[in-house]
Homo-oligomer: A and B are copies of this chain.
């Protein structure tokens, strides 16, 4: 198979982890006889520094003409601490999602058995947890009108959803539920928000097409509690952009560490694959970032964008073997991990490469 992959490292540890992600893709190509070509492009803070624009037109064009994008992270503390900044790295990320029509963000939360003790949650609560989140990614309060009024004394953000937007993400979630345990939990705040009431109405309607799927509706506050109390009760979870942002970061604790979680953003065109961890400037350049989320993002890319299931599984198995052998990055090490088994970003990447 011939495919063209765009590497978009972005900011902070995005650089370090996508470098490893690319290496494992290379190895897979060699091993399975595919031809992957690569290009790279700027986004976020590094793009602002180089061009003044968080999503340069060139990057967008390259994305549109690639078969898939392996993405790092965006963000920089400089902007976070300056609430009045007009140009921000995140604008690049949001514009990319909108321009590529990436309306469905899939975040699988599954614990590798070896990491059962790495979580702050009790092993007996975690055992068997396996959740697939569908986060809507191009609507909600992220993309509505926002600004100031009353001489700048009042700020506003508009949340919006159309039936069409809810329907297409709901359908993707139901389709996935059909291939899994046939359970779907739709999360909203329908007791307060009108967008949530529309959300619930539409999900109830789509549910009629999938009579085999057991559907429940939960409020977002209750869900935030239940995810920790009883993660095993969930199978597929579908929710709006903002709620999905919050709940999936929280759910990272089910998988032991944010450093383990990959995501796929798909929709109308090129798919984008990225870790759910952010740019993590506190550890940037130290060579300690966990590359497994980027590697697992590459696995999602192979599976979802290229339909290469065996290749994707080969990657996941390699990660599993490395964990079974006892190797850990700092974020997933525990008090029982011998210090010589704690690896940096590159060394962990090498271990995975050796196991493909």
Query: Given A81-B217, A224-B250, A249-B221, are A90 and B120 also a contact pair (CB < 8 Å)?
Result: no
In the bound assembly, the distance between CA atoms of A141 and B190 in angstroms comes to 13
Kindly list chain B residues whose C-beta atoms are within 8 Å of the C-beta of A200: 83
Check B197–A84 contact: CB distance below 8 A. yes
Check B141–A80 contact: CB distance below 8 A. no
Query: Given A193-B141, A221-B246, A224-B224, are A120 and B229 also a contact pair (CB < 8 Å)?
Result: yes
For chain A, residues 32 to 54, give those with C-beta under 8 angstroms from any C-beta of chain B.
none
Determine, out of A13-21, A152-160, A267-275, A295-303, the stretch whose residues face the partner at the interface: A152-160
A31 within 8 Å of B by Cβ?
no
- Number of A positions contacting B (CB below 8 A): 69
Check A197–B155 contact: CB distance below 8 A. yes
Determine, out of A142-150, A174-182, A307-315, A317-325, the stretch whose residues face the partner at the interface: A142-150
Interface string of A227-256 (1 = CB under 8 A from B): 111100000000000110111111011000
For chain A, residues 96 to 155, give those with C-beta under 8 angstroms from any C-beta of chain B.
120-122, 125, 141-142, 144, 146-148, 150, 153-155
When C-beta atoms are compared, the residue in chain B nearest to A162 turns out to be: B154
Query: Given A230-B120, A246-B220, A253-B228, are A195 and B156 also a contact pair (CB < 8 Å)?
Result: yes
A198 within 8 Å of B by Cβ?
yes
Give A83 Cβ to nearest chain B Cβ, in Å: 4
Query: Given A120-B228, A228-B120, A250-B228, are A191 and B80 also a contact pair (CB < 8 Å)?
Result: yes
In the bound assembly, the distance between CA atoms of A41 and B83 in angstroms comes to 45
A8 within 8 Å of B by Cβ?
no
Check B162–A150 contact: CB distance below 8 A. yes
A183 within 8 Å of B by Cβ?
no
Give A108 Cβ to nearest chain B Cβ, in Å: 17
Kindly list chain B residues whose C-beta atoms are within 8 Å of the C-beta of A157: 141, 158-159, 193-195
In the bound assembly, the distance between CA atoms of A190 and B82 in angstroms comes to 9
Give A192 Cβ to nearest chain B Cβ, in Å: 6
For chain A, residues 182 to 219, give those with C-beta under 8 angstroms from any C-beta of chain B.
189-201, 204, 217, 219
**Chain A contact residues, CB within 8 Å of chain B:** 75, 79-81, 83-84, 88, 90, 94, 120-122, 125, 141-142, 144, 146-148, 150, 153-164, 189-201, 204, 217, 219-222, 224-225, 227-230, 242-243, 245-250, 252-253, 258, 278
Q: A153-B163, A224-B246, A224-B247 are in contact. List 18 more A-B contacts (CB 8 A).
A: A80-B217, A83-B190, A83-B197, A121-B121, A142-B192, A146-B194, A154-B162, A154-B163, A155-B194, A156-B195, A157-B193, A157-B195, A189-B245, A221-B245, A225-B250, A228-B228, A243-B246, A250-B250
